[in-house]
Structure 1
Amino acid sequence: MANEVRVEQLWIPDSVDGPDAADFLAAVEVGRKVRMQTWGSDDLAYAPLEKLLEMADPYERQVILVAKVDGEIVGTVDIALPLADNLDVAEFALDILPEFQGQGVGRQLLEAAEHFARDEGRSTILIDTNHPGATLADGMAGQLIPGSGLGFVPLKSREVEFAQHTGYTLQHIEQFSSCALPLDSKLVADLQAEAEAANAGRYRVHHWTDRCPEQWVEAVAALENHAREDGIPGADDGDMVFDAHLLREAEEAAIAQGRRTVVTAVEHLPSGTLAGLTTISVLALRPDVVFQDDTVILEEHRGNKLGLLIKVANMERLTEQFPDARVLYTWNAPENRYLLTVNQQLGFTTAGVTGIWQKELPDFGPTVS
């Protein structure tokens, strides 16, 4: 390309209003424009303050590299380095302004990010590509199947070709779905009746927001560990074992970032144990756009429509507490038929898929002392 591309690390300001925040605001705007291009809305884009709050996440170090052409930021790569587990992993999110795509900017940014990750001792790189539903229906685009699980990404898409050319391998697919809120009241009544008939009065739901009641802390930590062992998408699959202390730390970190957490759990009355839970996150500055987090049901309690019971209850609870919420987004593994069926009953529709790609960086050379 004619213009020279300069890659540098982004300065993270103390506030979005300061005189040194211009580059940070421009970098966040690149992400917004790319999401507008991909999804037709900026629902999945960060507001500047939201991004600034996220940079202080105690569980991962975040660094942003930017590509500048003539002093203007035209591309960014967010680098997330997990700090609690998965210490060999770096996760990248690469965004290039539409008018600068296909000109080598992405390749330069990605190479710089890989060098940075290698210098930080990270050898496994994860990156994702996003594909709206319309691109999946294009029979001419071909299909690339992941290394594990179901689903596909369109083989001839620009993002897929870029990932392959830069040495990444498609690991798995996550189905991305959305549901309009609030739920229809007749639908809610029907689904609640169906769920309650199936569990025959053996279960009771419990709700909380932000902080788990003391009596359930150990049980919730155990459910989180169960989600990890099960490899539930969205649950971290590292070696960190959740306990009451870590759960409280995670709650405090979410509150510090301005995030609200709406939880519904279900108790098995005969044994007094928690059989499952589901969580929705509400971001500080976008109460209209909310995100479904883990839904976990212990194996021995499946088949009682508990997933349906707690998801309906939690979405109703969300609407009571956050009446501005108009859309709920979720990601699921395509092979998780159980949750996908529940989501379909609730009115979720597929918006597209996210492909998760992996690359192993070459071995580190011997260190010379």
Structure 2
Amino acid sequence: MSTESTPIVAGTPAPAPTAGGTRLPDGVHLFDFEAPSPDDVAAGHAVTTAFRAIADIDGEYVVELFGNTDLQGSADVQVRALADRSSVEHRYTIAARGPVAEDLAARGVTTLPAVVPAGQDDPTPAVADVVAYVTYDFDLLDNTSTFSVEITVRTADRRQGIGAALWDHAVEEGRARGRTIVQAWVDHAVPTADEPTLTPTKSEGEIPVDVTARFVQARDLVLEQVERHSVLTTAGRKAEWESALAEAMSRAADTDEVVTWDGYTPEQDLEHMAVLMRRMSTDVPLGGLDWDEEEWDAKRVRTAEEVSLGSGRRARLTTAIRDTTTGSLVAFSQLVIPLGTNAAWQNETLVMREHRGRRLGTIVKLVNQLALLERYPDAERIHTWNAFENSYMLDVNHAVGFELVSLAGAWQGRLV
């Protein structure tokens, strides 16, 4: 779904499966992570080395693909997500080798702690001994027939069946929870002129038929949507953005009021934001993806903000348009900056269908970007993701300076 954010998936072809599933290389074992309680996280328990390896693998992968660590996961953020059960159940499974993994497997251990109390020995494999991981998410409030899977394998350990074994493990977990639809977002490079490509079944765009495409195709997933991943550099853009904003504001109505906040939504606007978030599940392009309308209320908005800001986001910058005739918010755009990075991620951007045609999307984006420059001048880049068929938002992004860097394919399959 085009919410201007995307996860990473990396996989590799596997050897022939055995009767019990995909064959793992000798000495490689799978381990699930036990979800810590929120109290354990709040108490400052230490994140174990094996769980920290997930962020290390992320870093290796994003540098390979993008040349920087802007999109690298953070172990502290990931462990908070693992502990949270407000709307999504996050699960992680790793593949590990080495003496600790061998000892754990010999003793029949299949689940590891993600955190341990300060001063307690860490019983998990070392960072370097963790060669791959899968994260699989189960929505708890909406879309309870679907789940999503993301796999990343270290470069040196690909094409050995590890990714395939992790996929099989995640799918069995999905089946055990009664899920019937699996979805995966996969990163792809922009195809070259002579490279074979694949197009979605019901939407626009194309991806190269690369190793990750072949991996998910071999598991009977179908490409249902393609998003453009674009990046905007912020240096030296202030005057340009101010000029573009003045032009866009000339198209707005007298009843369009711009409001901006950093952090939590003001209490009086929580219900308005709930309406906008519900419309995010119906008003954005979905291609051929199965996605039901989400139910949002003021409590859910606040809980989502508490999870985001409590899990390592140093900024959550929102600009919205208020229709002064009704007091309602009719458009918004949101930027977040994770801890430990100088890059911002564009989260949701939406203009309600009945309020389009007045440049409101351009206005909320430009105001938010100018606020980013003022409040977080160290933010060097902004990342955004948009469906190919979302021509309106792509035009807005092009006008403010975003440039294409990669593609993301949305794949979907049905469990039988």
> Is TM-score (shorter-chain normalized) higher than 0.5?
yes
Normalising by structure 2, we get a TM-score of 0.80
- Unmatched tracts of structure 1, length 5 or more: 363-369
Match of 2:97 in 1: 69
Match of 1:331 in 2: 385
Offset, 1:353: 0.8
Distance (whole Å) between structure 2 residues aligned to residue 166 and residue 19 of structure 1:
37
Q: Is contact 2:188-2:207 (8 Å) kept?
A: yes
Distance (whole Å) between structure 2 residues aligned to residue 256 and residue 20 of structure 1:
16
Given residue 274 of structure 1, which amino acid in structure 2 is its aligned partner? L
Residues 125-204 of structure 1 mapped to structure 2, 5 A cutoff: 125-133=182-190, 136=191, 138-155=192-209, 157-182=210-235, 184-199=237-252, 201-204=254-257
Match of 2:362 in 1: 308
Q: Is contact 1:11-1:24 (8 Å) kept?
A: no
Given residue 249 of structure 2, which amino acid in structure 1 is its aligned partner? E
Offset, 1:287: 4.6
Alignment partner of 1:115 out of 172, 185, 204: 172
Q: Is contact 1:75-1:106 (8 Å) kept?
A: yes
Residues 1-369 of structure 1 mapped to structure 2, 5 A cutoff: 3-11=26-34, 21-57=48-84, 58-70=86-98, 71=101, 72-133=129-190, 136=191, 138-155=192-209, 157-182=210-235, 184-199=237-252, 201-232=254-285, 237-259=291-313, 260-283=315-338, 285-362=339-416
Offset, 1:20: 6.9
Given residue 188 of structure 1, which amino acid in structure 2 is its aligned partner? W
More moved, 327-336 vs 294-303:
294-303
What percent of counterpart residues are identical?
26
Q: Is contact 2:275-2:297 (8 Å) kept?
A: yes
Q: Is contact 1:263-1:277 (8 Å) kept?
A: yes
More moved, 1-10 vs 35-44:
1-10
Match of 1:366 in 2: none
- Change in Cα spacing, 1:182 to 1:218, as seen in structure 2 (3 Å) is farther
Q: Is contact 1:107-1:166 (8 Å) kept?
A: no
User: What do residues 246-299 of structure 1 show as CA deviations (whole Å, max 9, x unaligned)?
Assistant: 22222222222233321111123344432211111222x135121111111122
Offset, 1:102: 1.3
Given residue 388 of structure 2, which amino acid in structure 1 is its aligned partner? P
Distance (whole Å) between structure 2 residues aligned to residue 107 and residue 88 of structure 1:
23
- Change in Cα spacing, 1:123 to 1:191, as seen in structure 2 (3 Å) is same
Given residue 28 of structure 1, which amino acid in structure 2 is its aligned partner? A
Distance (whole Å) between structure 2 residues aligned to residue 101 and residue 140 of structure 1:
26
- Unmatched tracts of structure 2, length 5 or more: 1-23, 102-128
Normalising by structure 1, we get a TM-score of 0.89
Distance (whole Å) between structure 2 residues aligned to residue 19 and residue 210 of structure 1:
27
Offset, 1:98: 0.7
Given residue 43 of structure 1, which amino acid in structure 2 is its aligned partner? D
**Corresponding residue SS for 1:331:** strand
Distance (whole Å) between structure 1 residues aligned to residue 140 and residue 25 of structure 2:
40
Q: Is contact 1:35-1:45 (8 Å) kept?
A: yes
- Change in Cα spacing, 1:231 to 1:203, as seen in structure 2 (3 Å) is closer
**Corresponding residue SS for 1:177:** strand
